Chains A and B, each alone.
Chain A
Amino acid sequence: DADVTQTPRNRITKTGKRIMLECSQTKGHDRMYWYRQDPGLGLRLIYYSFDVKDINKGEISDGYSVSRQAQAKFSLSLESAIPNQTALYFCATSDYPGGVRGYTFGSGTRLTVV
C-alpha cells in the first residue's frame, strides 16, 4: 500500500456542489498538507496541519476548508465548488522538522468542476 493515499483519484462535479477529498497516511508523520497544482503555477499551499489540534491556512485557502480527523487523516472540502477550482490536488506529509527529509506525496486527485 502507498504511504500516502488520496481518494478519489479522479472526480467530476458540478458547480455549487460540496465535495470532499480525503487523504490518509501510514508514515506516522505529524505534519500534513494540501496543495493544488495548476499548469505553469507549480504547487500552491492550501492548508496545513502540524498536529491534530493545529490547522493553518496556506496562500490560497479561500473556498476551501479542512478537517484533521486523526494523525493519519486530513480531508479537504470544497463547500461550493466553482470551475476555477478545477486542478490537481496533492496531499503531502512530513515529519518534524519537515525540511530535513522533504515531503511524501500522494498520487493526487484530479478534480474537474463543470
Chain B
Amino acid sequence: AQSVTQPDIHITVSEGASLELRCNYSYGATPYLFWYVQSPGQGLQLLLKYFSGDTLVQGIKGFEAEFKRSQSSFNLRKPSVHWSDAAEYFCAVYGQNFVFGPGTRLSVLP
C-alpha cells in the first residue's frame, strides 16, 4: 500500500530565508510524486510533479523538489521565501489514486 509522511507539522521561517519541506513515501513501484499548496480558504494548487527522468524538478512560484529513490524522499525547497508562501503544503504519491501526506503548515516571519 502506498503512504506518505511529512515529519514536520509546522515550520516557521523568516522572509528571505531558504526553505526545505520534507516528504517520505512508501510505494512498491516507481512513484508519481507531487507537491500541492493550499492557501487559506482555497483549494489545493499543484506546485510540481515527478514522474521519471531528471530527479530535480522545477515548479511554479520558484519551488523545486528532488527525488531520492535511495531515501524514498521527495523534499520541497525554495531558496528565498516570500511572505505570500505562507500556506499548507501537501506531498502526495499517485498509484491507483492519490494518497496525501498530513501536510506541513508554513509560517513566514517578516
Contacts and interface: CB of A to CB of B under 8 A. Distances in A.
B97 A98 contact: yes
Contacts of A58: 97
Interface stretch (A13-21, A35-43, A62-70, A76-84): A35-43
A102 B60 CA distance: 14
Nearest to A6: B43
B47 to A, nearest CB: 10
A90 interface: yes
Majority-rule SS of B interface residues: strand
Given A40-B9, A42-B103, A99-B32, A108 B43 contact: yes
A41 B94 contact: no
A43 B100 contact: yes
B51 A107 contact: no
Contacts of A45: 97-98
B105 to A, nearest CB: 9
In this complex, the interface size class of chain B, counting residues with CB under 8 Å from chain A, is 20 to 34
Interface residues of A, number: 22
B102 A42 contact: yes
Contacts of B100: 35, 42-44
Contacts of A43: 44, 90, 98, 100
Given A42-B90, A58-B97, A98-B97, A105 B44 contact: yes
Contact of B49 (A33, A92, A102, A106): A102
Given A40-B102, A42-B101, A98 B94 contact: yes
B97 A102 contact: no
A90 B44 contact: yes
Interface in B41-61: 41-46, 49, 51
A32 B42 CA distance: 18
Contacts of A35: 100
Interface of B: 4, 9, 32, 34, 36, 41-46, 49, 51, 90, 94, 97-98, 100-103
Q: Which 3 A-B pairs have the closest CB atoms?
A: A105-B43, A99-B94, A42-B100
Interface of A: 4, 33, 35, 40-45, 48, 58, 90, 92, 98-100, 102-103, 105-108
